[in-house]
Amino acid sequence: MASLTTAKHLIGEIDGTRCTIIESNVTKARMEFLRELLTFNKLEVKVREEAKADGSSESLYTVGVTDIIFNPVYAIYERTLLRPDGTIVTPAWYRQLGGDTEVPYYNYGKTEVADQYE
């Protein structure tokens, strides 16, 4: 999931509409997760199913939004995206990592700081 590791803004076309590409070659579960999150945040989501590789049984998808100035890296680190329960999306939650996804990104994985949140 390279969408948070680089702030490069990718523009592509999905169903004849120019889109900001959020993530590409993702599983159906990840695509559904992103679609729900982005739709909740009032973004129009476009999804394209990628051609299956030879011998591949699982479909992969490209997810985009029609707002071509939207950048998921900025939205997450500026804390402007909200989860469906109304809390702010953290990088750990966006990446669907296990554990405590409420810890701020700058403290995530630091055990001495993580103990404060228990």
The tally of domains found in the chain comes to 1
Query: Whole-prediction pTM value?
Result: 0.79
Residues facing 14 on adjacent strands: 17
Range of the domain at 73: 2-117
Choose among 96, 37, 38, 31: nearest CA to 58. Answer: 31
Mean pLDDT per 10-residue run, the chain (118 residues)?
72 94 93 97 95 78 95 91 90 79 61 49
CA distance 97 to 87: 16
Choose among 39, 14, 15: nearest CA to 24. Answer: 14
Q: What is the pLDDT of residue 113?
A: 46
